[in-house]
């Protein structure tokens, strides 16, 4: 299928078939997609909580109870649910372990290359930590890149998805002990297959006309 067809075909699933389960192979593909997402300075400031069990999904669904009730059944009926979490802070020990991991993966031909990477990452990280004072905003931006990849990747794999900001992060952070681990929950993504009752599947897409969102410089 052409990319332009796929982006029109993928959509947010509003009701999942509770009988459907993803294959092990699909889950492994999704895990690899999460792991290999790009990020500014390769900072990878994230963690992903994933579950395919009833118990795990119930724990996550707690965060949508009440105000975000509309999302509870999606979390329960999806085959797999992923919580995309952002790092709450980036400290020097995290930066050092990142650098060591890149070295281990063979990224540096020599110590100059290693120093350059360290310097570049410190420049951006320090700017967000100490000048702009928006480090959490920055880490969350990286996590939303994963979200984009995940939605497109799922579509490529033929998996239906529902991204959800409709949940209480305070409830989810506590339920998953995210604060203690230095993370906060940013977005939930439910994966599975739509049910017959999914009204959104039959609706046409609505987007701004291309000429109003794209300007070509000549």
Residues binding ligand FMN (CB under 6 A): 11-12, 14, 71, 162-166, 187, 205
The Cα–Cα gap between 185 and 174 comes to: 10
DSSP 8-state assignment for residue 50: E
Closest CB to ligand FMN among residues 33, 95: 33
Q: Which helix (H) or strand (E) holds 185?
A: strand 183-192
Structure tokens at 109: 């031909």
Closest separation in Å from C-beta 148 to ligand FMN: 8
Paired residues of 85 in beta bridges:
47, 185
Min dist CB 96 to ligand FMN, Å, is 32
Which residue has the CB atom at the shortest distance from ligand FMN? Answer: 166
Is 14 a catalytic site residue? yes
Q: Between residues 80 and 125, which has the closer beta carbon with respect to ligand FMN?
A: 80
Catalytic residue among 57, 74, 140, 175: 74
Catalytic residue among 14, 57, 140, 175: 14
Asked if 188 contacts 83 with a C-beta cutoff of 8 angstroms, the reply is yes
What secondary structure letter does DSSP report for 82?
A: E
Phi, psi of 189 (to 5 degrees): -125, 120
Whose Cβ is closer to ligand FMN: residue 15's or residue 99's? 15
Whether residue 19 lies in the annotated active site = no
**Residues that are catalytic:** 14, 74, 165
């Amino acid at each position: 299928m052409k990319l332009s067809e796929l982006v029109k075909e993928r959509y947010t699933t509003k009701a999942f078939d509770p009988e459907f389960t993803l294959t092990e192979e699909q889950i492994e593909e999704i895990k690899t997609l999460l792991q290999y997402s790009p990020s500014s300075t390769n900072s990878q400031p994230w963690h992903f909580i994933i579950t395919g069990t009833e118990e795990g999904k119930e724990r996550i669904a707690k965060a949508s109870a009440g105000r975000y009730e509309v999302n509870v059944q999606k979390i329960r009926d999806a085959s797999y649910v992923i919580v995309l979490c952002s790092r709450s802070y980036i400290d020097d020990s995290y930066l050092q372990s990142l650098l060591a991991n890149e070295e281990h993966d063979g990224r540096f031909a020599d110590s100059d290359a290693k120093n350059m990477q360290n310097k570049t990452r410190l420049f951006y990280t320090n700017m967000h930590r100490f000048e702009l004072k928006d480090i959490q905003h920055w880490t969350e931006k990286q996590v939303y890149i994963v979200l984009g990849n995940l939605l497109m990747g799922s579509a490529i794999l033929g998996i239906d998805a529902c991204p959800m900001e409709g949940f209480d992060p305070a409830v989810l952070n506590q339920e998953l002990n995210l604060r203690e681990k230095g993370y906060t929950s940013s977005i939930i993504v439910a994966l599975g297959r739509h049910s017959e009752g999914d009204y959104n599947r039959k609706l046409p897409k609505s987007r701004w006309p291309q000429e109003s969102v794209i300007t070509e410089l000549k």
